[in-house]
Homo-oligomer: A and B are copies of this chain.
Amino acid sequence: MIAKRMVSYVEASSVTRAMFEEGNRLASIYGKDKVYDFSLGNPNVEPPKEIKQAIMDIVQNENPNYVHGYMNNSGYIEVREKVASSINRRFQTSFEEKNIIMTCGAAGGLNIILMALLDPGDEVITFAPFFTEYRNYVNNFNGSLVVISPNTKTFQPNLEEFKEKITARTKAVIINTPNNPSGVVYSEETIKELSKILEEKQEEFGTSIYLISDEPYREIVYDDIEVPYLTKYYKNTVVGYSFSKSLSLPGERIGYLVIPSEVDDFENVAAAANIANRTLGFVNAPSLLQLVVARCIDVEANIEPYKKNRDLLYNGLMEFGYTCQKPQGAFYLFVKAPGGDDFAFAQAAKKHNILVVPATSFGCPGYVRIAYCVKHDTIKNSLPGFKELAKEYNLI
């Protein structure tokens, strides 16, 4: 009796659930600390202490009808001003409150900007490997997701194929850097080249192509690598941000969209995104948490635990002969599946109580994703299993 399109979603979802239940089953047999679950991108670092302080201050000192009440669907004006100022300070931009829409996380932000932009049949391009949900978000508005095949040498986007696949129906391009699942940061050179292609294609087709930069991992970067701020390279850029990973608040659903005044048809795009926020049922981003993140806007993410994890895991796996992309950001290690079959390798890993995600679902068969946002001991204790696995595949 459910909607036809939901039938395949329910089927796909039961596969994920089966994996989750397998984890629970293993934990019940071997003990939770003997199961190495690398399947979920759930931050394990504590939220900074400023979050708790901000919540307490706000509920003790502010008018509760203000704290918990309705505001403009795009968010409190004073919160949006603080977000704009913070971005301006950090990236030498010049946004105002009208350029910011507070959203229910990046997932909420992507849905509302896609609703604002997409007519049925419009094409949205993304680069493999990509966050699986993009396909669903585009489907929500009857758009068509066009996937550019991965460049498995560098995991920078494959710009040759990109150039060929842009059409008159291309309405948007979604990029995600630092990338889930590869951990790669797109270089400035890549961004410049991508922008140049988009400008040429806009010219060629007489269209507007919006670049949607999905940036939940912006703050989680290692080794002083710079993540270029996209609006400075390409005029029709919309940024989607989330505090989920940087401040360890994924359950709170708080983030924002940046819609620069320079984008084509700015007034209508901003108005449509505001309305989409209401009409899709978000109405507005959760009010208390808007006020909280505004107070904590310049609190720095604690990335040390992730870096420590990355180094131990990456060095360990390299030692055992695996082929890994060294993560520059996010908290995922992208590993070539020995034997070439990601599903078979994930199955084999399970025998060592190691749970990893086959990357076929990210549009990149033959690889697996290892989410290292876990306890350091989990990584340490999983290494003997990875070593055994390496032996089974004759890597060592």
Do B46 and A65 touch across chains, with their CB atoms under 8 A apart? yes
Interface hit among A158-166, A176-184, A243-251: A243-251
Residues on B with C-beta less than 8 A from A272 are 2-3, 6, 9-10
Q: How many copies does the complex hold?
A: 2
Nearest CB on B from A9, distance (A): 5
Do A1 and B264 touch across chains, with their CB atoms under 8 A apart? yes
Residue of B nearest to A118 (CB): B3
Do B64 and A47 touch across chains, with their CB atoms under 8 A apart? yes
> Which of B56, B104, B116 touches A282 (beta carbons < 8 Å)?
B104
Interface hit among A25-33, A132-140, A320-328, A379-387: A132-140
Residue of B nearest to A42 (CB): B70
Within residues 36 to 89 of chain A, which ones have a CB less than 8 A from any CB in chain B?
40, 42-44, 46-47, 51-52, 55-56, 59-60, 64-65, 67-71
The CA-CA distance from A4 to B119 in the complex, in Å, is 6
The CA-CA distance from A55 to B269 in the complex, in Å, is 36
Q: Which residues of A are interface residues toward B (Cβ below 8 A)?
A: 1-7, 9-10, 13-14, 40, 42-44, 46-47, 51-52, 55-56, 59-60, 64-65, 67-71, 104-105, 107-112, 115-119, 133, 136-137, 140-142, 208, 248-253, 264-265, 268-269, 271-272, 274-276, 278-289
Known contacts A2-B268, A104-B253, A251-B288, then 7 further A-B pairs from the complex at CB < 8 Å, ordered by chain A residue:
A3-B141, A6-B115, A6-B268, A6-B276, A40-B70, A69-B251, A108-B282
